[in-house]
Amino acid sequence: MNKPVRKAVFPVGGLGTRFLPATKAMPKEMLPVVDKPLIQYAVEEAIEAGIEQFIFVTGRGKTALEDHFDHSHELEETLLHKGKTETHRTVLDILPKPGSVFYTRQMRPLGLGHAVWCAKELIGNEPFAVLLADDLVLANQGNCCLKQMIDVYNQNGGNVVAIEEVPREETYKYGVLNVTHDDGRIAQADGLVEKPKPEDAPSNLSIIGRYILDPEVFTELDKQESGAGGEVQLTDAMAKTMDRVEFRGLRFEGHRYDCGSKLGFIEANLAFALARDDLRDGVTDIIKRLSV
Ligand code: UTP
């Protein structure tokens, strides 16, 4: 039987330069989609998927993230005092179980692979998930993206990533699979290329920010080799373990929004608002008004 996936890593050490100046003093992962910060969606997804331990790899200027997942006694008392019991509950609902959250600090943003490597001692020798909060996935209740991936992992073990088809001309933005077998839902691969030019891309199946990884990846990350953009790439380390660890990409059910880009972020706000009963009509009116 495969070891269960109990731990999730949330790399939040990046600089978020595409969102400056908004991200000068505020972490990108705290940008709200409707009324929740991106990181909270990611943590809720992990909880829904059965994750028990939450490991944040933070960096300078990221303390707002820690505060978000902690008590704010003054705020809680004020809300109670004013009789705002429902809002009070909203603030308490986001608190993880005491003792289930761990923070480590990526002292320099050397890339996603380096951020994950910073969590190595907290992970130990067991499979783990990685969630990038800026890839936000809207899925059906009870069937979040990570849960779908864990179901695939529980059957097969190995590495499992979430994948989607991207237009050929956009492969340069993603990690792309070299596919050996594809049943239309799960694609097995024996190679990965980080940010290939369209003419060099082995397929148009790209990895999004959800991974389940065998701890073997740390033997490659230990080498701290830099790849595309001079950064330590997680994709490169995964690619180098493919001779030892089976690799599957899952075409997940749901829609992914790239909230690291401005248009993706705006689209996510509209989509998540339209999915809510309390906002749908108002937002539909606004869209109609603005599109004439
Ligand atoms: P991005 O590639 O979007 O980089 O990282 P970024 O620095 O956040 O944003 P831009 O490109 O400058 O606008 C994807 C995820 O990986 C984390 C980021 O915090 C984000 O959640 N990351 C990236 C790290 O934790 N450390 C790094 O060194 C790089």
In a domain, 149, yes or no: yes
- Residue-wise pLDDT for 194-224, tens only, equals 889 999 999 999 999 999 999 999 999 999 9
In a domain, 126, yes or no: yes
Q: Are residues 282 and 232 in the same domain?
A: no
H-run or E-run covering 262: helix 262-274
Residue at token pair 């969630």: 131
Q: Would the pLDDT of 60 be above 90? A: no
Index of the ligand 1 atom closest to the CA of residue 111: 28
The pLDDT of residue 245 = 95
Q: For the chain, what's the residue count?
A: 292
Q: Are residues 196 and 221 in the same domain?
A: yes
Confidence of residue 227 (pLDDT cuts 50, 70, 90): confident
Index of the ligand 1 atom closest to the CA of residue 29: 21
Compute, in angstroms, the gap from residue 280 CA to the centroid of ligand 1.
Answer: 31
DSSP state of 26: S
Q: Are residues 231 and 270 in the same domain?
A: no
Q: Would the pLDDT of 69 be above 80? A: yes
Compute, in angstroms, the gap from residue 229 CA to the centroid of ligand 1.
Answer: 12
Domain that holds residue 266: 262-292
Read off the pLDDT of each residue in 216-236 and give the average, rounded to a whole number. 92
In a domain, 133, yes or no: yes
- Residue-wise pLDDT for 153-191, tens only, equals 999 999 999 999 999 999 998 999 999 999 999 999 999
In a domain, 206, yes or no: yes
Compute, in angstroms, the gap from residue 16 CA to the centroid of ligand 1.
Answer: 6
Q: Are residues 255 and 284 in the same domain?
A: no
Do 38 and 132 touch, CB atoms closer than 8 A?
Answer: no
In a domain, 230, yes or no: yes
Q: Are residues 272 and 133 in the same domain?
A: no
* Count: domains in the chain: 2
| Phi, psi values for residue 15, rounded to 5° | -90, -20
In a domain, 148, yes or no: yes
Mutate to test the pocket of ligand 1, among 9, 38, 114, 134 (most ligand atoms within 8 A of CB): 134
Q: Which residue, among 186, 135, 122, has the nearest Cα to 158 in the 3D structure?
A: 186
Q: Are residues 245 and 268 in the same domain?
A: no
Q: Are residues 91 and 159 in the same domain?
A: yes
Confidence of residue 61 (pLDDT cuts 50, 70, 90): confident
**Pairing of β 135-138 and β 159-165:** unpaired
Q: Are residues 88 and 163 in the same domain?
A: yes
Give me the residues paired with residue 175 across strands. 194
CATH code of residue 124:
3.90.550.10
Index of the ligand 1 atom closest to the CA of residue 109: 28
Compute, in angstroms, the gap from residue 13 CA to the centroid of ligand 1.
Answer: 6
Compute, in angstroms, the gap from residue 89 CA to the centroid of ligand 1.
Answer: 32
Q: Are residues 291 and 165 in the same domain?
A: no
> Please, what is the average pLDDT of the chain?
95
The pLDDT of residue 228 = 82
In a domain, 29, yes or no: yes
DSSP state of 117: H
Do 135 and 39 touch, CB atoms closer than 8 A?
Answer: no
Q: What CA–CA distance (Å, rounded) separates 186 from 202?
A: 17
Q: Are residues 165 and 288 in the same domain?
A: no
Residue at token pair 């809680």: 76
In a domain, 2, yes or no: no
Index of the ligand 1 atom closest to the CA of residue 108: 28
Q: What is the CA radius of gyration of the chain?
A: 19
DSSP state of 142: T
Integer angstrom CA distances of residue 162 from 206, 218, 256: 8, 20, 10
Q: Are residues 192 and 284 in the same domain?
A: no
Ligand 1 interacting residues, C-beta cut-off 6 A: 11-19, 28-29, 57, 106, 109-112, 114-115, 132-134, 260
Mean pLDDT check: name the lowest of 26-35, 184-193, 221-230: 221-230
